[in-house]
């Protein structure tokens, strides 16, 4: 392991030891002290004092050389206890700088590998959701549609009493078909695939609040930067989770949805005037939003809004941008 001055750690320790021994030899050579053939007690005491001074000076110099490494190890232990692992402080010079830089680079590569693996898992999950959505729509959905058409034809030609019974079955089948279509829409965001992020968010708010007593305010910038398919999917899913929570739990009268362009990314905000988020709340939906944001190097904040209620904000980097 080589330092900034071209000397390895072992070489520096050897040089320190050599310097101490050389100084001790020079002091013994040019000092008036002598050692007789049969050393006296005073001479032995003088040699012991000299040896002790050499050992003390050697320990002092070696410790000062290794102290940055000890600090580095302590910082690594402290950073390892955090989640995610904190980057290490990089000293200005010396071998500790090289070690800290290498450790930070290693942490970055590990996190990048984890993100890529998780992103691949997320992509596979979304592909599976798309397959299930197609099966629901093309298989069960079409079968129920055929049943519904047959029931309608029978009801039109049946006697009055059976017609009423068939009409009930028909309405039940229609409700079942609509529920399947709703599940398919949640599994596979067709609007995102076909129309893009802006139109998908507009369609999402319309789907959730058209028949809901909540006033929706939309603020969506024109000309959002390019995010990439995976990042757009994360923004859409976070918006979907946040808006679904508003519709189901917030007891809000108004909700604001914003997609804003920033210097190097896009900011999603969903703010309502409802009852707010309980302290320490964090269910599956909250965990899913945070995990998705981490996958694309985004920053998620969930907390009280400026005028009460809850505000969910997600910043994601544009393609080629960075946090």
Is 6 a residue whose pLDDT tops 50? yes
Is 98 a residue whose pLDDT tops 50? yes
CA dist 235 and 217 (Å) reads 18
Is 35 a residue whose pLDDT tops 70? no
- What does the pLDDT read at residue 270? 94
Mean pLDDT value across residues 246-256: 89
**Local structure of 31: helix, strand or coil:** coil
Mean pLDDT value across residues 177-202: 75
Residues 148-167: tens digit of each pLDDT: 777 777 667 666 656 666 67
- What does the pLDDT read at residue 40? 64
Radius of gyration of the chain (CA): 35
Residues 106-134: tens digit of each pLDDT: 878 877 777 777 777 777 666 666 666 66
Helix axes 95-135, 41-80, angle to 10 degrees: 20
Phi, psi of 256 (to 5 degrees): -110, 130
Is 230 a residue whose pLDDT tops 50? yes
152-168 CB burial, b ≥16 within 10 A, e <16: eeebeeeeeeeeeebee
**Local structure of 90: helix, strand or coil:** coil
Is 4 a residue whose pLDDT tops 70? no
- What does the pLDDT read at residue 322? 47
Is 171 a residue whose pLDDT tops 70? yes
Largest CA distance in the chain: 135
CA dist 185 and 134 (Å) reads 10
CA dist 92 and 82 (Å) reads 24
Q: Exposure of 279 by Cβ count < 10 A (0-12 exposed, 13-18 middle, 19+ buried)?
A: exposed
285's tokens: 């939906």
**Mean pLDDT highest for which of 100-109, 208-217, 256-265, 290-299?**
256-265
Q: Exposure of 298 by Cβ count < 10 A (0-12 exposed, 13-18 middle, 19+ buried)?
A: buried
CA dist 227 and 179 (Å) reads 32
Going edge to edge, which strands form the sheet with 310-317? 215-220, 254-261, 265-272, 310-317, 299-304
Mean pLDDT of the chain: 75
CB atoms within 10 A of CB 61: 17
Mean pLDDT value across residues 206-219: 86
Looking at 43-47, 256-260, 301-305, which range is the least confident one? 43-47
């Amino acid at each position: 392991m080589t330092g900034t001055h071209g000397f390895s750690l072992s070489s520096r320790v050897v040089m320190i030891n050599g310097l101490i021994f050389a100084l001790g030899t020079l002091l013994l050579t040019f000092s008036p002290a002598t050692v007789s053939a049969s050393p006296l007690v005073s001479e032995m005491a003088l040699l012991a004092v000299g040896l002790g001074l050499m050992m003390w000076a050697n320990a002092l110099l070696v410790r000062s050389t290794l102290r940055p490494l000890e600090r580095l190890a302590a910082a690594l232990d402290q950073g390892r206890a955090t989640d995610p692992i904190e980057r290490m402080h990089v000293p200005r010079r010396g071998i500790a700088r090289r070690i800290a830089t290498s450790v930070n680079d290693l942490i970055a590569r590990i996190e990048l590998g984890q993100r890529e693996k998780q992103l691949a898992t997320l992509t596979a999950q979304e592909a599976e959701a798309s397959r299930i959505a197609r099966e629901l729509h093309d298989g069960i959905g079409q079968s129920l549609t055929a049943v519904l058409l047959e029931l309608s034809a029978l009801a039109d030609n049946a006697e009055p009493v059976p017609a009423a019974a068939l009409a009930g079955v028909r309405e039940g089948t229609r409700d079942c078909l609509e529920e399947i279509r709703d599940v398919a829409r949640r599994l596979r965001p067709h609007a995102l695939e076909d129309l893009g992020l802006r139109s998908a968010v507009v369609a999402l708010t319309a789907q959730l609040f058209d028949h809901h007593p909540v006033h929706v305010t939309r603020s969506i910038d024109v000309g959002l930067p390019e995010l990439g398919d995976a990042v757009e999917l994360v923004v859409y899913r976070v918006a979907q989770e946040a808006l679904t929570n508003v519709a189901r739990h917030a007891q809000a009268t108004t909700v604001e949805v914003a997609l804003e362009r920033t210097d190097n990314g896009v900011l999603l905000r969903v703010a309502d005037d409802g009852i707010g988020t309980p302290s320490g709340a964090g269910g599956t939906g909250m965990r899913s939003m945070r995990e998705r944001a981490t996958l694309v190097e985004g920053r998620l904040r969930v907390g009280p809004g400026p005028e009460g209620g809850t505000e969910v904000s997600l910043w994601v980097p544009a393609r080629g941008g960075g946090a």
